[in-house]
A and B are shown apart, each in its own frame.
Chain A
């Protein structure tokens, strides 16, 4: 589904991704871990199409298409979804409000019929239940005055509404209490099919107890320096990153 080859990206002239290689197949869950500032969110942003990040080298193939050629909105329409690490506030725009337009623009792109108001509302109800989010939150200005947890839940709600093929969850677990974590993880798991894939960026093994990854990667200084199974996450939890940093030093 996704094949990243030797991806380099910089922002404001500073190189942040320094040769990422990663392959993700339909049905898989990949976890990306790594110390602060290693480039995890940058990778997520580059995949979602943020224009401030310049890709200087490498390729990203997504379902047979050159992903880097597509505008951000077209990536969304092709099924890429990013749950933001820091969802921003947009005064005057409510989730319900823009989501309906978004869904219909996506459907138009795919040559599908517009969603009528009734179908939209019933789909909303269903997904609201899934992530246990309140209607009133969705009709308020996006994220304005939302608690940290509410913001993250809203991200997963949008993901549920948009039913992406490739979902990238950037630290969706941070700021969530245990109950919310379970709800969010449960939501993600329910949305999982054999046709879609998920990238979970996280600092904590805890989330991976609920969303069980097929692979775990460690991103460090703009490169994936180690990959393994979910056992790698356990090892990181126990030992921290120092041993990996040492390994990297030795190989350089």
Chain B
């Protein structure tokens, strides 16, 4: 696993320019290199190749606010908004909810870089900014906070790296919606790393919305650390992009934590969507619940890898995981792998993964009632997706995403 010469050189050059705090990540990255083709965690997802390709071509991006408009569904919604444009958090336009603090983030994410995904290391070395959100104890932010990550690649191939942090004080509550928003048709590679910390009894609902862009490669990584009684809910929706890798790592570091991870992905022709999750139960009496569903169409590819660790002390853990896939063509593929490592003995864990065609019996049932084959299929696919979308709390987001899925699934060339 050696970094290519060019990447090495590029990284080495940074040694003099970056703050001291990032040097560890830099050294580690030089040591391990970006994942090569045979790397266990990346064997289906050749993100390194595309990163190197795009990074080599990336030009200087100009920031042109006149090119920018909010995605329609946010325009009309009653939310707070923060913008990160081509890697820079825009503190001036930020609409910060009263009672919380949002600053420009310059703190690297990794205390100890050993053992991390090399793209996390890369982000740690290269990220230009992001937002650092602090919600004080016992404070509830009423309206959702939307973080719009704008990648303007209209004038050249683009590379950008951002890093966000959220600290939830005791018993604080916040809903955030992270939206990827791409402008222009050029290729791009962007990484986004988020570090969330939930103190005792805090509640964080996060929505990761990846429904925009078509020529983009995206690395997304969440590290969530939960203290006792806290609740973390994430919903990851991926409909667009060329190749995406999402890492979602949650550490339940105390008892009575609750973690709910929901995901929906739809990979059409030439799209590649990879979700890796890790749920780490370290202490007793916590629950985690994970459901990812995907539809693969044309030459679309899906990857799901779900790790659950139940450490020796984590007695009375309840952990549930499921990944279900529907393949709509012979060329579509999915690689799904649950990985459970359980050291405690008094636990309830279950996992399951399925990959198959649409249910023929159900199709026949609907057709026997007079529905055309296309309609019957769309019905079943929408029903498949609705198990996830029904769980979206903000109504405007739920309506928007359900409609979007509906349109994608009803498009004629099935």
Contact = CB atoms under 8 A, between A and B. Distances in A.
B379 A93 contact: yes
Contact of A93 (B361, B368, B383): B383
Contacts of B370: 73, 76-77, 102-103, 105-106, 109, 162
A99 B387 contact: no
B380 A105 contact: no
Instruction: Give chain B's interface secondary structure class.
Output: helix
Nearest to B387: A92
Nearest to B371: A102
A98 B362 CA distance: 12
B387 A158 contact: no
B366 interface: yes
B373 interface: yes
B240 interface: no
Interface stretch (A33-41, A44-52, A239-247): A44-52
A98 B371 CA distance: 8
Contacts of A92: 382-384, 386-387
B377 to A, nearest CB: 12
B364 A72 contact: yes
A120 interface: no
A31 B376 CA distance: 31
B365 A84 contact: yes
B368 A98 contact: no
A76 B369 contact: yes
Chain A CB count within 10 A is highest, among B368, B376, B386, for B368
Contacts of A51: 364
A141 B382 CA distance: 13
A248 interface: no
A102 B383 contact: no
Nearest to B365: A88
A148 interface: no
B373 A71 contact: yes
A151 B373 CA distance: 23
Contacts of B360: 52
Given A88-B361, A92-B386, A105-B375, A72 B368 contact: yes
A56 interface: no
A231 to B, nearest CB: 33
Nearest to A77: B370
A82 interface: yes
A99 B383 CA distance: 15
A145 interface: no
Given A72-B364, A90-B362, A101-B375, A162 B383 contact: no
B2 interface: no
A224 to B, nearest CB: 23
A15 B373 CA distance: 27
A71 B375 CA distance: 14
A91 interface: yes
Given A93-B380, A93-B383, A105-B375, A88 B369 contact: no
A71 B367 contact: yes
B367 A49 contact: yes
A150 B398 CA distance: 32
Contacts of A50: 364
B372 interface: yes
Chain A CB count within 10 A is highest, among B360, B365, B370, for B370
A94 to B, nearest CB: 9
A72 B373 CA distance: 9
B372 A90 contact: no
A76 B373 CA distance: 12
Contacts of B366: 90, 93, 98, 102
B357 to A, nearest CB: 13
B401 to A, nearest CB: 15
Nearest to B362: A90
Nearest to B366: A98
Contacts of A90: 362, 365-366, 380, 383
Interface string A125-165: 00000000000000001000000000000000010001000
Contact of B367 (A73, A87, A109): A73
Interface string B370-409: 1111011001101110110000000000000000000000
Nearest to A86: B361
Contacts of B372: 73, 105
Contacts of A99: 369
B383 A82 contact: no
Contacts of A105: 370-372, 375
A237 to B, nearest CB: 31
A50 B366 CA distance: 11
A49 B368 contact: yes
Contacts of A84: 365
A118 to B, nearest CB: 21
B380 A101 contact: no
Contacts of A93: 366, 379-380, 383
B259 to A, nearest CB: 24
A82 B362 contact: no
B383 A48 contact: no
Given A88-B365, A92-B386, A141-B383, 5 more contacts: A50-B364, A88-B362, A90-B365, A101-B375, A102-B369
24 contacts: A49-B364, A49-B367, A50-B364, A72-B367, A73-B367, A73-B372, A73-B376, A76-B367, A77-B370, A81-B368, A88-B362, A88-B365, A91-B383, A92-B383, A93-B366, A93-B379, A98-B369, A101-B375, A102-B369, A102-B370, A105-B370, A105-B371, A105-B372, A105-B375
Give the 6 A-B CB pairs with smallest separation, nearest first.
A92-B383, A76-B370, A72-B367, A106-B370, A102-B370, A102-B369
